């Protein structure tokens, strides 16, 4: 969400959140100012680490630029390096991202912004999420009063993990228990009933037909409804089809009232990575750079699939936000650009410590709703390169070797 209301203090050169931070921010804003580059587990200076990384990429025929947890400038540098070495790009959250992108590419969708949710939505439907991965969502988007006057807001939760909504006497205004794997059936039934079709069944996905009809009445009565989901929590086969049923219902409802979707996301810079890849290459992530130009294959170029099949011969893993997001197991040389406090069970071939965007260096990131790129401050500058600086240095070593 790129919360901009944090109060930050310095303690021995480290940033600490004093107010407004969620548990994730409180934990991850504390980061060492220095760390040691490693090659084959041995401490080296940064120049030697850059040379070692360049040597691996020089020998590689098809490397993977994975992770991509960094800021916009880092994403641009990663794409430039991938283009130079003939690599493929994918984000560490790619599996969840493409549950959204596939229905979006297939038929489009109608989505809204965080500000619109806060100020206009009178009905919020949470589909398969309790928003616990976005701990300030309720605080910043649902509990405040509208900037345009009094707003009576109703919240409906669909799923098994029903949220606790701050400031409300009950957990939700309406809760319908349903397994996430069967959400697609429910939304297909809602579309059918909205179109006037009869359903010859007492229930759909365990939800009584009478309750489905009552839910449809509530959806249809909304002046500005918003359907909220988190693709990372919809982790089951063909989840993209369930999301497609959701976004198609939104289109159907817009014939008589106003509805939008809000896909939650944005963790580890994934929204920025998708935006930058699209405007730089003309294609989304999971694109490879060939002599003939970019080639997009979302099913073939997933990180796990590439590493399991051996279709890539080197891995560059970028993880500048969370020290626990270490690289996946790979049977190929691995280069890691990671937070200085990253700990490995198995050291990579090359480790280059990098500064944390928004804590140790300035930059830009796209908010989860993808409508604005917000500037990042650097309350605790460190003597570490940014991801972009490290990648540029590696590319310079490659250019020198080629010359």
The closest of 156, 265, 270 to 211, measured between CA atoms, is: 156
Q: What share of the chain is helix, strand, coil (3-state, %, to 5)?
A: 35, 25, 40
Q: Where are the domains of the chain?
A: 32-93+268-402, 98-265
Find, among 54, 178, 199, the residue nearest to 126 by Cα. Answer: 178
Please say whether the beta carbons of 20 and 386 come within 8 A: no
Rounded Cα–Cα distance for residues 82 and 61 (Å): 11
* CATH topology classification for 32-93+268-402: Rossmann fold (3.40.50)
Q: Give the DSSP per-residue string, 241-291.
A: HHHHHHHHHHHHHTTTS-EEEEEE--GGGHHHHHHHHHHHHSS-SSEEEET
Query: CA-CA distance, 187 to 191, in Å (whole number)?
Result: 6
Residue 269 contacts residue 321 (beta carbons within 8 Å): yes
Give every CB contact of residue 19 below 8 A, 6+ residues apart in sequence: 6, 7
Which pair of structure tokens corresponds to residue 352?
């280059």
pLDDT under 70: residue ranges of the chain: 144, 162-172, 402-403
**CATH number belonging to domain 98-265:** 3.40.228.10
Question: Which residue, among 253, 233, 257, has the nearest Cα to 187 in the 3D structure?
Answer: 253
Is there a shared CATH topology between the 32-93+268-402 domain and the 98-265 domain? no
Write out the DSSP string of 161-202.
Answer: S----TT-SSS-SEEEE--GGGHHHHHHHHHHHHTT----SS
pLDDT at residue 323, rounded to an integer: 95
Under a CB-based contact definition with an 8 Å cutoff, are residues 216 and 186 in contact?
no
- Cβ atoms of 9 and 16 within 8 Å: the answer is yes
**Separation CA 251–CA 257 (nearest Å):** 10
pLDDT at residue 141, rounded to an integer: 85
The CA distance from 15 to 360, in Å, is 9
pLDDT of residue 403: 63
Q: Give the tens place of pLDDT for each residue, 163-180.
A: 666 555 444 578 899 999
- The pTM of the full predicted model, rounded to 2 decimals, is 0.91
Q: What is residue 151's predicted lDDT score, i.e. its pLDDT? A: 82
Q: H-helix or E-strand containing 120? A: helix 114-120
- Report pLDDT for 41: 92
């Amino acid at each position: 969400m790129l919360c901009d209301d944090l109060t930050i203090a310095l303690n021995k050169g480290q940033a600490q959140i004093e107010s407004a931070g969620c548990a994730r921010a409180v934990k991850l804003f504390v980061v060492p100012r220095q760390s040691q580059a490693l090659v084959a587990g041995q401490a080296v200076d940064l120049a030697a680490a850059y040379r070692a990384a360049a040597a691996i990429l020089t020998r590689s025929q098809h490397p993977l630029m994975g992770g991509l947890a960094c800021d916009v400038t880092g994403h641009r540098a990663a794409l430039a390096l991938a283009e130079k070495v003939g690599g493929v790009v994918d984000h560490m959250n790619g599996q969840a991202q493409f549950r959204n992108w596939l229905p979006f590419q297939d038929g489009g969708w109608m989505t809204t912004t965080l500000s619109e949710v806060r100020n206009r939505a009178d009905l919020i439907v949470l589909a398969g999420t309790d928003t616990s991965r976005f701990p300030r969502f309720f605080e910043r988007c649902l509990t405040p009063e509208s900037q345009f006057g009094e707003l009576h807001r109703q919240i409906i939760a669909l799923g098994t993990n029903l949220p606790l909504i701050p400031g409300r006497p009950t957990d939700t205004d309406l809760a319908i228990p349903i397994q996430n794997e069967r959400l697609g059936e429910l939304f297909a039934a809602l579309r059918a009933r909205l179109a006037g079709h009869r359903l010859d069944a007492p229930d759909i996905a365990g939800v009584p037909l009478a309750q489905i009809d009552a839910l449809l009445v509530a959806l249809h009565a909304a002046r500005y409804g918003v359907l909220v989901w988190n693709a990372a929590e919809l982790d089951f086969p063909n989840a993209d089809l369930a999301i497609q049923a959701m976004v198609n219902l939104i289109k159907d409802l817009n014939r008589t009232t106003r509805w939008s979707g809000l896909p939650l996301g944005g963790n580890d810079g994934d929204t920025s990575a998708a935006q930058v890849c699209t405007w730089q290459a003309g294609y989304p992530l999971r694109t490879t750079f060939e002599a003939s130009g970019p080639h997009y294959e979302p099913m073939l170029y997933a990180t796990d699939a590439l590493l399991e099949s051996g279709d890539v011969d080197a891995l560059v893993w970028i993880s500048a936000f969370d020290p626990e997001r270490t690289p996946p197991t790979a049977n190929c040389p691995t280069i890691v650009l990671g937070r200085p406090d990253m700990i490995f069970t198995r050291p990579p071939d090359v480790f280059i410590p990098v500064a944390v965007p928004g804590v140790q260096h300035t930059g830009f990131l796209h908010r989860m709703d993808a409508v604005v790129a917000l500037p990042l401050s650097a309350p605790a500058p460190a003597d570490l390169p940014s991801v972009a600086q490290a990648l540029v240095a590696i590319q310079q070593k490659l250019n020198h070797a080629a010359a």
